[in-house]
Structure 1
Amino acid sequence: MRIVGGRHRGRALAAPSGRDVRPTSDRTRQALFNILEHGDFFTDGGPTVEGRVVLDAFCGTGALGLEALSRGAEAALFLDVSRASLELARANAATLKETGRCQFVQGDAAKPKPPSVNAQAAALVFLDPPYGQGLAPRALEGLSAAGWLAPEALCVVEIGGDDPFEAPPGFEELDDRRYGDTRVLFLRSA
């Protein structure tokens, strides 16, 4: 697994052994960031990734947040219920010498506590929950209610290709793409 674009392009990331964490494939990540970098998702007319605060919820290895930092994001927040996943994301950030622009929070994205006082609300949000558990809508509602999302945040949600999904109230679905057995949804918070 590698960073696929930006200033850290080609740098390797550590991946866990076993099947508890399912990192987004390099190919899917490349397609996703191509869409983000060429899309017009924000009403302020600014770039989708560059200069934005990013939240990588269910962060696993941290690959999505670190990819965003490599492509010019201002800062990244990494949220996961698993201490082992957070330590892996922290180690990958250290490998890239990006820990100064990162915050790591252990917590449940579906029932999050409010962010720390010094954490900025995220304009770009990545959710990659375990497939087949219906966690994405609950996480979107929980993160919004707890103050993790900036107004009109762009939320990129990765779910299993056969997983049902209905956008929760307060979220507008902008796009829906399929990559093999993965489905990637783009939503905007109200």
Structure 2
Amino acid sequence: MNRRRSQRGAPGGRATSPAADSGRRGQRASHGGRGELRLIGGEFRRRRLPILDSPGLRPTPDRVRETLFNWLASERYTARVLDLFAGTGALGLEALSRGAGEVHFVEAAAPVAAALTRNLATLGAEATVHRSDVAAYLAGPAAPCGLVFLDPPFRQGLAAATCERLEQGGWLEPHAWIYVETEHELAWQPPPGWQLHRELRAGDSHARLFRRTPPEA
């Protein structure tokens, strides 16, 4: 879950700088120091990683990530995973910890991307961090993914457009899972063929997990 709630500046503000697309997922330690991400399942369970002290990086409750991965519990995490607006990479790291075969993080802000790269090295985990604007990345050559995390900055109209790029650009496997988190008041329609599997409202956010159904031939 990202914590980018408005354009009013930190903690949720977004500017038109390259950092405007950066993800803001993190988990502050509830006991002890600030600025830690705690992984909650899989190979790296209970590992704690530092979070860059950067405006806009705010807590994601453990329970939200735990709920999402419970929804996906029956899935084998061997698919290619794409974590857009990655920020701390909390969701992609969870998938990696649970056995994802290939994880790609897309993050526009250079310092945040560098911090994520360092945390991957700390874990001894192999994944790719793409220092890129999400729209520009999705305009490039596509590689179909089985699981996509999409948690864009709130109230900037990015969710629907990004979903369309995923669908139209060939980024999704026929039965891909897509996690989308938006501001709670946003009314939007997913692309045709995306079936809502589960949803959760928590504070200012509305989390949805979709399963793609390929169009009929």
TM range (shorter): 0.7 to 0.9
Could you tell me how far apart the structure 1 residues matched to 2:129 and 2:104 are? 6
Tell me the CA shift for residue 23 of structure 1.
5.3
Q: Secondary structure at the match of 2:177?
A: strand
Q: Which amino acid aligns with 2:172?
A: L
Q: Secondary structure at the match of 2:87?
A: coil
Match of 1:94 in 2: 121
How many corresponding residue pairs?
A: 176
Q: Root-mean-square deviation (CA), in Å?
A: 2.0
Could you tell me how far apart the structure 1 residues matched to 2:61 and 2:52 are? 13
Q: Secondary structure at the match of 1:178?
A: strand
Matched, 1:26 2:62: yes
- Percent identity, please: 39
Q: Which amino acid aligns with 1:103?
A: T
Tell me the CA shift for residue 49 of structure 1.
4.1
Match of 1:42 in 2: none
Q: Secondary structure at the match of 1:60?
A: coil
| Structure 1: unaligned runs, 5 residues or longer | 38-46
* TM-score, normalised with respect to structure 2: 0.73
Per-residue CA distance 1:70-108 (angstroms, 9 max, x = gap): 11111101112222222122122111111x2x1121233
Higher RCO, 1 vs 2 (CA within 8 Å, ≥6 residues apart): 2
* TM-score, normalised with respect to structure 1: 0.82
Match of 1:168 among 184, 191, 199: 191
Matched, 1:79 2:115: no
Larger radius of gyration: 2
Q: Secondary structure at the match of 1:13?
A: strand
Q: Which amino acid aligns with 1:36?
A: L
Could you tell me how far apart the structure 2 residues matched to 1:6 and 1:106 are? 26
Q: Which moved more, 1:15-24 or 1:86-95?
A: 15-24
CA 1:168–1:71 in 2, change beyond 3 Å: closer, same or farther? Answer: same
